[in-house]
Structure 1
Amino acid sequence: MKSPPPLSPYGVFTGQLFQYSSSPSLIAFESSPPSLPTQPQPSTISQSSLPALQSNCSNKCILLGGLSDGPIPTPYTKLLEAKCHYLGWSLVQPILSSSYLGFGHGSLSRDTEELNSLMEYLVCHHSASSFAFVGHSTGCQNSIHLLKYGRRDLIERVKAVALQAPVSDRESLTLTPGDSSVHLSHAKSLHAEGTGDEMMPRSAFWAPITASRYLSLFDVNGDDDFFSSDLTDDELQDRLGHVGNLGRETGLHVMVAFSKRDEYVPESVDKVILLGRLVTAMNGSADVEEGNSDASPVACGLMLEKANHNLSNDERDKELFVESFGKLLAMSAVQSKASDVETKI
């Protein structure tokens, strides 16, 4: 007899699946804390009574995966869910138009528009008041872009962001065989002719991709080029400095988690130095000044010494990352309560 398939390696999740936009393909899954009912009897439930069955948790943590990912994008997803529930947050995992192979014809701008729709839906129908984001790989670019271009009334609700494996797609391309300059030239030609939506040759990339998306990912100063080590300090500040500005205004806190053994980062890149530069660029003038007790950094760094790109090497890497992010969530919750008290006074 044939052996049964293995149990879901990244865990089994219970909660609610819902459509958050008029597009039927835009759906999301919200994990329900163990104490919430998750198995209502369909025969006794009317459409008008469904909101009463939804999670009453007002804190929503949204997990964004990388290129080709969908829900359950990382091996630490279940651990993250447990930490969120323990701290009074629910975990939301969306499908965007750019999920799976959709990234090849997408853009960060489209992702941000859809994330705006998701957040608005959660506010209107799932009692959301505060948000946190965990971005893995290209999910980090999504998070950075959203903080700058997302709807201001929604972004002001974002209390914490974790960037896990914020690597450069442009630099990772150097790790693959072949001469990418030929494909870059072709993509630039198509873009110059106004046909950036045309698909690149099969030899250009492992997945179907348009010329515009190819340039966004792999050209110098492309739309996705936030974390490359060869960007100058001024260029990094220009691309990441809004994080510190936003944090000073809203109390946002950001953790940048880099893996020392990330297989998508060239060996020539000093990861410790790069992590420091990314954090500095995000903090900008928000860096702590000596003797100024009111100043505090918005972004902090976490170097995972033995970790690979998605933290699948060792359980301790996942635990350290999730525990560190949990402290960020807890700190954000304390500050939010303090802010509420000040407002009432």
Structure 2
Amino acid sequence: MSECKDAPLLLTGTLGLYQTSPISLPYFETNPHHPNKLVFVPGLTDTLGVVPYLPQLATVLDNVSYSLVQLVKSSDLGGFGTSSLEGDAQEIAQLIEHLKTRTKNPCTGKLIIMGHSTGCQDVITFLSQDRMLSEQTGDACIHVDGGICQAPVSDRDYFEAYATSQNTQQLQECREKLSNNMPSALLDRSQAKYKPESVHGRGKGNSEAVLNPAFTAYRFASLNDRNGDDDFFSSDFSDDQIREAIMPALSRAPLMFLMGEQDEYMPATINKLQLLKRWSDALSGQRFYTEYILGANHKVDDTKAQHQACQAVLKFIQTLL
């Protein structure tokens, strides 16, 4: 287990609960006194604070009276394999309602949702249908002012480019289970390690549960099969398919897509700039914005790329004024 020697700048703020039932789930917020909020949704295997540009983003947001809000979801770390985008979206809705209705420092200004990687699918899923306030507070919809997708990549594109024969067999197994109405059936994990080896009391901890998690047939197919619930950003979509995937969300809020020049989760055969242009052309006339982040990998580790990404977020915020 490696030590985090090159840790990013610390984030400071407040920790609280955004729901206590059916399970308690926490959130972390910088500068909660600000009237505007940006809710950040991480990707698969991620959780609070693991995306490296967040400290720089928090500083940029602070300068324009926005707080950065991070939530813990049931699907964080290794939970994604038995979860769904709709489940994520419902927990995000609970967080946003809490931010807008809490007694102290409620969100009285703008609220933006920003997703990283699979968090982008969460953003699109959340915005693709009306999300109602809870029964206790009436029937009004939860209003969101904008959505940002950083690293909106296709799991299916990656799977089709790099899948092993075992992966292909797993997908076929999932298709069979789904055709037999068994979406919750788990894929075989008999070869997974049930506990880590110990060397002087140290080792890899429970990382195996995150890096090699349990999968339902539904979620494995959702991520990797054509027309799965996660299939929003595939490079082989026609213009009509792009509109079908994105317009339900875009009709409810403006969107910005941030794509990294060196995103390692996009197959090398995909022309990233061309794909951005195809999205822009298919969604022309809409409140849709794109930015190509030079030198950026999937998580934007490069500090110059982080600066460009954060400035792009700032420009998007300014379009909402």
Matches within 5 A, 1:1-345: 9-23=7-21, 24-32=23-31, 55-125=32-102, 126-129=105-108, 130-151=110-131, 157-179=143-165, 180-202=167-189, 206-246=212-252, 252-281=253-282, 283-284=283-284, 287=285, 297-312=286-301, 314-332=302-320, 334=321
TM-score of the aligned structures, taking structure 2 as reference length? 0.84
Structure 1: gaps spanning 5 or more residues: 33-54, 247-251, 288-296, 335-345
Distance in 1 (CA, whole Å) between partners of 2:296 and 2:141 is: 30
Deviation of 1:62 after TM superposition, in Å, equals 0.5
Deviation of 1:27 after TM superposition, in Å, equals 1.0
Distance in 2 (CA, whole Å) between partners of 1:209 and 1:6 is: 29
Deviation of 1:214 after TM superposition, in Å, equals 0.5
Deviation of 1:7 after TM superposition, in Å, equals 6.2
Distance in 1 (CA, whole Å) between partners of 2:249 and 2:183 is: 30
CA displacement, residues 170-217 of structure 1 (integer Å, 9 cap, x when unaligned) = 111235451233211100111222221121123898322111000110
Structure 2: gaps spanning 5 or more residues: 134-139, 193-210
CA displacement, residues 207-243 of structure 1 (integer Å, 9 cap, x when unaligned) = 2211100011011010000000112211111111124
TM-score of the aligned structures, taking structure 1 as reference length? 0.78
Count the aligned residue pairs.
289
Distance in 2 (CA, whole Å) between partners of 1:10 and 1:92 is: 17
1:230–1:147: structure 2 CA closer, same or farther, 3 Å change rule? same
What letter is aligned with 2:27? A
CA displacement, residues 76-131 of structure 1 (integer Å, 9 cap, x when unaligned) = 00011111111101110000111111111111111111111111111111411321
* SS of 2:234 mapped into structure 1: coil
What letter is aligned with 2:304? R
Distance in 2 (CA, whole Å) between partners of 1:150 and 1:62 is: 18
Distance in 1 (CA, whole Å) between partners of 2:295 and 2:14 is: 35
Distance in 1 (CA, whole Å) between partners of 2:243 and 2:316 is: 23
Distance in 2 (CA, whole Å) between partners of 1:19 and 1:8 is: 30
Distance in 1 (CA, whole Å) between partners of 2:171 and 2:59 is: 43
Contact 1:147 1:155 in 2 (8 A): no
Distance in 2 (CA, whole Å) between partners of 1:152 and 1:271 is: 36
Structure of higher CA gyration radius: 1
Distance in 1 (CA, whole Å) between partners of 2:93 and 2:163 is: 38
Contact 2:146 2:255 in 1 (8 A): yes
Percent identity between the two aligned chains: 30
Distance in 1 (CA, whole Å) between partners of 2:12 and 2:294 is: 33
Distance in 2 (CA, whole Å) between partners of 1:185 and 1:162 is: 34
* SS of 1:158 mapped into structure 2: coil
Deviation of 1:331 after TM superposition, in Å, equals 2.8
62-71 or 5-14: bigger deviation: 5-14
Distance in 2 (CA, whole Å) between partners of 1:209 and 1:330 is: 41
The equivalent residue for 1:38 is none
